[in-house]
Amino acid sequence: MAADTGATSGARPSSATETTGSRGGLLGPMRGTPAIQTQGLRKIYGHGKAAKTALNGLDLTVERGEVFGFLGPNGAGKTTTIRLLLDLLRPSAGRISVLGEDPRSRPELRRRIGYLAGDFVVDGRQTGADLLAYLGRLRGGVDRERVAALAERLDLDTSRRISGLSKGNRQKIGVVQAFMHAPELLILDEPTSGLDPFLQQQFVELVQEAKAGGQTVFMSSHVMSEVQATCDRVGIIRGGELAAVEQVEGLRQRAFRKIEITFAQPVDPAEFAGLAGVSDVTADGPVVRCRLAGTADELVKTAARHTVVDLLSEEPELEELFFAYYAHGEGSRR
C-alpha cells in the first residue's frame, strides 16, 4: 500500500505549489486537492472467524470549504472512517488523503485539523481552562481571547474542575478545543451529542461561521435539523459502503414544502389540484393549503387570479428524505 511509505521528516513547500483545477491526485501537497479523499478504503476489525468488515471500499471526496454531513445508522462505519482520517486507526486497504497529505506520514497535519471524537472523554482535577491551555500549546499556540469567547458562547465555566462537570459541559470542552485554533479542517464525530437545544443552535452558528471563514467541516450526526442547517452535501453510509451523496440544496428543492394561501374570498380548491408539483389540496374558507414539490410557478400564477391576502411557505423538512436513505438506501451512488 503506497500510503504506508511516507516519510515524516521531509519539509515540503507549504504554498509554493498552489494549483487550481488539479483535484484528482491523492497524496499531493497542493492546495487544489480536496480536503478529504479516500479511495477503496477498507477496514476489517479482528482476524479469522472474528473478523468484522466495518468499511468495504469507501470512496469519499470532501472539497475544501464545504460542510459535509456524514450520516448513517448506528454501526454503519462513520466513527471508523473518522478515526482512519485522523490516523487513530490504520486501514486494511485503500488510500486516504487529508488536506493533500497522507495522515500517516504527516503528524504535524494534526495541528491543521480540529477533531472532536465521538467518545470525547476528559476527566481529572484540572480545570477546563488548564486543559484547553494545554491542548492549545499542542496545537502550536491558541489565542486565549478566542478560547474565552467560545466558552462564553457555549455557556461553559472553564474555571471549574473537569471532574465536577456534567456530561454536556464536558462535551462543550470538546467543541471548544476543536474550534479554538480555527483549523483548516474540522472533523467532528456527533459533535452535539449531549448538548441541549440552545447549545445545538450555538453549534450550528459556529459551523456557519467556520464555513464563512473558508474552513472545511466534515461531521457525522444523527441530528437532522443541524445537518439541514449547516451542510452543503451529505453522504449516507450504510453497512460500510457509501449509499448516496447528495447536495442538500438539491434535496431541499425536491422536498415537499407546506404552502398556505389566504385569499380575500373562498376559492374552489379544485382549481389547484392537478397543478405541477401540487398535492394534498384542502380548503378551509378563504384558506387553501397544499404540499408543493419543485417550482412554485403554476401554483403562484393560479393563485394570482384571485386576491391573495397572505402566502406562507414552510421551509421543507428534509428529515423524511433522510429517513428514506437510512431505511432503504434509495438514490444514486456517486
Ligand X SMILES: Nc1ncnc2c1ncn2[C@@H]1O[C@H](COP(=O)(O)OP(=O)(O)OP(=O)(O)O)[C@@H](O)[C@H]1O
Using rule CB under 6 A, residue 238 touches ligand X: no
Gyration radius of the chain's alpha carbons: 24
Using rule CB under 6 A, residue 234 touches ligand X: no
* 17-25, 58-66, 72-80, 286-294 -> range binding Mg ion (CB under 5 A): 72-80
124 binds, among Mg ion, ligand X, none (CB under 5 to 8 A by kind): none
Using rule CB under 6 A, residue 38 touches ligand X: no
CA distance 214 to 184: 8
Using rule CB under 6 A, residue 74 touches ligand X: yes
CA distance 323 to 243: 13
Using rule CB under 5 A, residue 79 touches Mg ion: yes
Using rule CB under 6 A, residue 323 touches ligand X: no
239 binds, among Mg ion, ligand X, none (CB under 5 to 8 A by kind): none
Q: Which is nearer to ligand X, 74 or 166 (CB)?
A: 74
Q: How far is the CB of 195 from ligand X (least distance, A)?
A: 16
Question: What cell does 217 get?
Answer: 467541516
Q: How far is the CB of 53 from ligand X (least distance, A)?
A: 8
Q: Which is nearer to Mg ion, 79 or 158 (CB)?
A: 79
| Alpha-carbon distances, residue 300 vs 63, 265, 283, 292, 307 (angstroms) | 37, 17, 16, 11, 12
Residues 220, 82 contacting (CB under 8 angstroms):
yes
Q: How many CA atoms lie within 13 A of 294 on its CB side?
A: 8
Using rule CB under 6 A, residue 94 touches ligand X: no
| Alpha-carbon distances, residue 207 vs 41, 118, 152, 168 (angstroms) | 27, 17, 16, 18
Using rule CB under 6 A, residue 71 touches ligand X: no
Residues 5, 74 contacting (CB under 8 angstroms):
no
Scanning residues 83 to 122, which ones bind Mg ion (CB under 5 A)? Answer: 118
CA distance 170 to 166: 6
**Neighbour count for residue 333 (Cβ, 10 Å):** 11
* 3-11, 30-38, 76-84, 150-158 -> range binding ligand X (CB under 6 A): 76-84
Using rule CB under 6 A, residue 78 touches ligand X: yes
Q: How far is the CB of 73 from Mg ion (least distance, A)?
A: 10
* 71-79, 98-106, 124-132, 263-271 -> range binding ligand X (CB under 6 A): 71-79
Residues 309, 227 contacting (CB under 8 angstroms):
no
- If binding means CB under 5 A, how many residues of this protein chain bind Mg ion? 3
Enumerate binding residues for ligand X (CB under 6 A).
Answer: 45-46, 52, 54, 72, 74-80, 118
